[in-house]
Structure 1
C-alpha cells in the first residue's frame, strides 16, 4: 500500500451524550461519557492505516498522560509516531464534544500543543517515497502551525507528491485567504457544500456549480464535496463531474464522518479507482462512521467498508 504523510491535530475527545442543551449558565446531565483519541487528521490517518497504508504523522502533543495515551493509540493503529514532537509549554489538546439525541455534535476545543507545531518540526525524511500528503485545515488556524503546514507543502510539492486538503466544517472563515493562495499547489480539496461560498467570498445563495468552476479555475485539480443527510457527494475535475448518492443509515453520532469521508477519497485516489468509485467509497466510509459512537479507533476498516458496499449493491 501507499506511504501517506499527514499533518494536523492530535487530541483526546471527551464525548458527552446530552439529552437537551441548556441555556447559558444552565446545566445538563449527560447520559453517557467516553474519552478517546481524535483530531481530524488523526481520524483520517487511523482509517487509512486500517486500510493497510504506511501512515506517517507530523504533529505535537504535550508532556502529559493524554499525550502518552495518544501516542500509544496511534502506534497501536500502525501509524508512525517518529515525527510527533513533545511540547513542554502546552498540554495535549482536549476536545469536549456534546452529542445530541439525533447524533449531531457540538465541539469545544483548546488547541494546546497542536498550535505550537513549527516548521522546524517538519522533517524531510517523513516524505521519502511518499505517494500523498494530506493536510487538515485546522493546521492553518494559527501562525506557528501554519508555518509548519507550509513547510510540509513545500517539501511535498518539490518532490512531486500529491497534496490533499480537508477543510473541516466551521473553520473556513479563518483559513479561506490562505487556502485560496494554496489552491494551485493542491491536487484535491475536500469540503462541505455549505463552506463553498465562504471559501470564495461569494454570497451564500451562489450557484454551487459556478463556485466549483471558480475553484478549479484557481488551480486546484479536484474538488470533493462531502455528501451527507441524503445528499450526493460529488467529485469535480476540469470538464467533468461525478457523484454518488449518500447511503441511508441510522445516525448514532457525526463525529469524524468528514474525516472518514476524506480517508475514502484518499484510498480511492492512491489505489487508482475511478472518480465515481472514489465518491462511492468516500460515502461508504462516511456512512459507516456515523453509525458508531465517536471516532479514532472507531474509524471503519477497509474490509467492513467493502462488505458494506457489497451489501448495498446486492440490496439495490
Structure 2
C-alpha cells in the first residue's frame, strides 16, 4: 500500500474543534472500503503490549502513516498500525500503538481513533496501558482493573470534547461516573480466576498526567492523597471519547514499576526500558486474559 499521509500544520479550527464528523467519517470509510472485517470490539494496546494484536487471525494491517488524517506513533513499544482480524470467531480492530499529548498532538487528536472505531461499528472497547504503581500494596507485574480515572489535563480544560459539540457523537455534557463498565470488570475478574491470575489482580483508580517526564516525589505523594492507585500518560481521553459516543469500556493497567515516594531515595528510578521489560514478561498472561474476556463478552 502506498503512503497517502501528508503532514501539515494544524489549523486553529482543528486545534480548538478537532475533525468534523464528516472528516472522521471519511477516515472510517477509507478503512471499511479496504477490509471485509466489520468489528464490534476494539482494543488499544499500551506500551509493550502490542502482542495483543499479534493474536488476531486473518489480519489486515494498516500502518498509521497510510491512513489519511491519522497521526503516527513516535514512542518505542508502539508499532503504529491499525490491525483488523478475528479472534475466536469475533471480528476485532486493534490499535497497535496509541498517541500521546507529549508527542505534540492535541488531546482530541489522540482520542480521535476512538471515534473512527465508533463509525466502523465498535460497541465495546478494551484499553490497556503501562502504569506506575502508587498504591503501596501493588507490586511490579500486577494487573490493575481500572474502576475510575483522574484526568489531570482535563482539570485545566484540556479535554478531548472541548469545542463545539456535535450531537451525532453524544451529549454536550456526558456523565463519567460509569466510565468503566461494572459488568465488564466483573466478567474480567471471573476470567482471571479461571486462568489462576487472581494473585496478580488489583482494582483501582488510574491517574493520567501529560508527560513525558516522570513525576516528582512530591507530585506522586499528592496523587496518592487524591486517591490515585496508578499513574500514566494515556487512556483517560480515549475513555472520555468512547463514553461520549456510547461505547462501553473495560480498562486495565499493567503495573510496570513502583513509584518512589521518599525524597532523596537511592532506589532505582522509573525508566522506559523497565516498562518494556515488564510488558514483555507478562505478555502471555495479558493475551490469555483479553482472549478470555472477548470469548465471554456475549454474556454481559
Which TM-score applies when normalising by structure 2?
A: 0.30
Higher relative contact order (CA 8 A, sep 6+): 2
Larger helix share, 1 or 2: 1
